[in-house]
Structures are given as structure tokens and as C-alpha cells.
Amino acid sequence: MIRLVILSVLISFAFGASLNNNSSSFFEGRIVGGVSVTIEDFPYQVSFQYYGSHMCGGSILSSYYVLTAAHCTDNIVNKLLGLLTSGYTVRVGSTYHNNGGTVFRISRIHQNTNYNSRTMNYDVSLLELEKSLTPVMLASPNTVKPIPLPSSGYQVPVGALITVTGWGYLWENGPIPSQLQGVELPSIDDARCQDAYYPAEVSDKMMCAGYLGVGGKDACQGDSGGPAVYNGVQVGVVSWGYGCADARYPGVFADLTDPHIYNWIMSII
């Protein structure tokens, strides 16, 4: 099945509707085959929550903005006003999604207007916070810190190890951990990724990483919207894939090195 980045139980609760399980594919995203890590090693990581329950991952870009996936916000956004309803927050500065750190309310959601839920192109959203993160950054610089974005023309070498973090399922349809998890995945050539997913399209707005032919390590449900980092900069956002850690299918990420996605982010923050 296609991994859906938002936890299915939470979606049903939050939106009063169940997922369509008649199809063999739906979108997920989580960490499988990783290790427990701490927020001190990944101080940009946040938990995007609904009334205190973990929904998706995200990353701090600046004092007022957190980056996540558009598929995490698509059903909760009023396209004109930004935020449709209350109850959405981010927890920053904690190794655990369910306690610690500081919780900030979201004042507005900026969803990329080019996002397409069918193709998953432009799968990025920005969460605008009600209050600045600066006081927390100054008080806790080791646990709350922005992650840089790639400069123009930045390229991730094929085979380079990309670090992905989150609180998603430990295996497909498995439990969600309370402690942050991390995994390293090798970048995959676009052509090989497209071959793996054909006839589904892997566009130039996406990048892929994983262990083709091996499997065992991946992002999964609940990791959606979380950061994919290479050489100290965030190069991707956990987006979609078939199953979790399946040897046939690598993980697919929104590509932050794409100039259209990068320019859209910078135009807001």
C-alpha cells in the first residue's frame, strides 16, 4: 500500500471520516529499521500535533515557520484563510512527541498552491506559529534550532546517505514510538526510482532514497512531513511510498533542491 503520512486513526478522529481502504494503496510515512536518537542531535525536528496527539513530523526553518508536507495539511486548510480549525500545534525541543519541550500554537497554514494529492507534486506546507521561537532558541540552543535549506543548484550525490528522523510507525501498521527515531538511507538515481514505481510518476519535484533490493529501512506512517537531511542541510520532506521498508520501493521525498519549491518557501519565510 502507499504510505499515508498521517496516522490513520488520528485522521478518522480529527476529520470525522475514515480512510478509503478499498484500494490496495494509500499514503503513509514513518521510521523503520532505525535507532532511537535524541533531540540534541536533531534540534530542528518537531512534532505536528492535533490536540496533543502526534500527526506528522516537521522541521524548524525560522523563528516563525515550520516546514511539513502538504498531504499533512490538505484536509485541514481553508484555501483562502489558511487555518480551518483550532487544535493544531507543534511540539519543539523534545526527544518525545508526547511530553517535554515547548508547545506552540499554529496561527496559519501556508500550503503550496501547486500541491496535487493525486500526483503528490509540491508536497510541502509551511506552519506559521502564533509566537516566535526565538526565546526558546536562546534558552535551549541545543534542542531548538533551525535547519538550513540547500543553496541554489545544490545536488545530492547518488548513493549519499540521507538522514531521516521522526516518530512514525516502527514497522508497517506497527506501534508508534514515544522516542524520536533516526535512519540513514542512500540516495537513489531518479531513473531507478521511476523504474521501481512505474507506472506511477516520480517527478522532478521529488527525490528518492532507500535500499532497493534489500529493504528493511525506511520512513513510515507518522514520519510524513519530517526532514531528510544531507551534509547539514534539509534536502527533502518525507512524502510517500508503497508500503514501508519494502525492498522493491524506496522512500519518496519532496525535493527541496527544486528551484520552484525552494523559491516558494523563501517567498513566505
Catalytic sites, residue numbers: 71, 123, 224
Type of residue at 183: V
SS3 67: strand
What is the sign of the dihedral through the CA atoms of 131, 126, 74 and 112? Answer: positive
Contact between 96 and 32 (Cβ < 8 Å): no
Mind giving me the DSSP string for 84-120? -SS-EEEEES-SBTTSSSEEEEEEEEEE-TT--TTT-
CB atoms closer than 10 angstroms to residue 231: 13
**C-alpha torsion 92→256→170→58, nearest 10:** 20
Of 126, 108, 69, nearest to 255 by C-alpha is 69
Q: Which amino acid is at 85?
A: T
Contact 78/106 with Cβ under 8 angstroms?
A: no
* Nearest alpha-carbon partner for 72 in 24, 3, 129: 3
Q: Helix or strand or coil: residue 13?
A: helix
Grid coordinates in use for 143? 534542542
Which one-letter DSSP state was computed for residue 157? P
Contact status, residue 112 vs residue 122, Cβ threshold 8 Å? yes
- Rounded-to-integer distance, Cα 2 and Cα 138, Å: 40
Partners of 28 in the β-ladder = 4
